[in-house]
Structures are given as C-alpha cells and as structure tokens.
Amino acid sequence: MATIKYNGASLDLVLSPELHHGDDEVYGLWSYSNMQIELSAALSHTARSRVLWHELTHAMLDFAGVSLTSEQEEQICHTLGNGIPGLLDNNHWLRSTKTINHKLEDKLC
C-alpha cells in the first residue's frame, strides 16, 4: 500500500483484484470516509495512472466541498484523469514547483 499526501490528509492507495460499485465492476474507487483510493490490479500501467488521476480528482473535489451532479463530476474527473498524465509525461518540468518557476524565469527574463 502506498500513501498520497493531500491537503493535510494521508490517502491510502490500494491495488485490488476486483472492484465493484454496487453491481458494476469499476476500475477505481475513491472513499472519503476511508481516505482510500482503490485501483484495479488488472489495469495496465498507463490505464492505472489515468484511473489514479481520475480518482484523485474525485478526492480533490470532495476536499474542496464542490457540489456537482454525478454526470458533471464524472466529466471533470474523466477529462483531468486523461489529461494530467499526458501533460506530465510530455512536460517533465511541470512535475515540481521549483522546475515550473525555473522554466518560467528562463523564458520570461
């Protein structure tokens, strides 16, 4: 099990052989009450990264107290879950505040 630090909380990250939300099989689950993200162990590494970001987006929205319809929340989580890994893979300098500031200062000065 891994731990992700966010907003003063520790979120447990768990790989599970099978995940269900009600009767539906799912690839990932965020639980605010358990402070836990579960990911399907069956996912490829690429898919796992995207599902992790999807579930992290659910967590961030919960922590921020954002109230959306289920459809709106899923659209946001799907968009960011697919977008953030691609941005980070193709722009390594976006991975830390230090490198972002260094890159910007180099370009703006």
Per-domain residue ranges for the chain? 2-108
State the Cα–Cα distance between residues 70 and 72, nearest whole angstrom. Answer: 6
34 vs 30: CA distance, rounded Å? 9
- Write out pLDDT tens, residues 15-64: 999 999 999 999 999 999 999 999 999 999 999 999 999 999 999 999 99
Q: What is the pLDDT of residue 108?
A: 65
64 has which bridge partners?
A: none
* 31 strand-pairing partners: 36
Give the pTM.
0.89
* Bridge partners of residue 40, in order along the sequence: 16
Residues 80-97 pLDDT 10s: 999 999 999 999 999 888
Task: Provide the token pair at 40.
Answer: 């399907």
CATH class of 2-108: mainly alpha
Read off the pLDDT band of 106 (50, 70, 90). confident
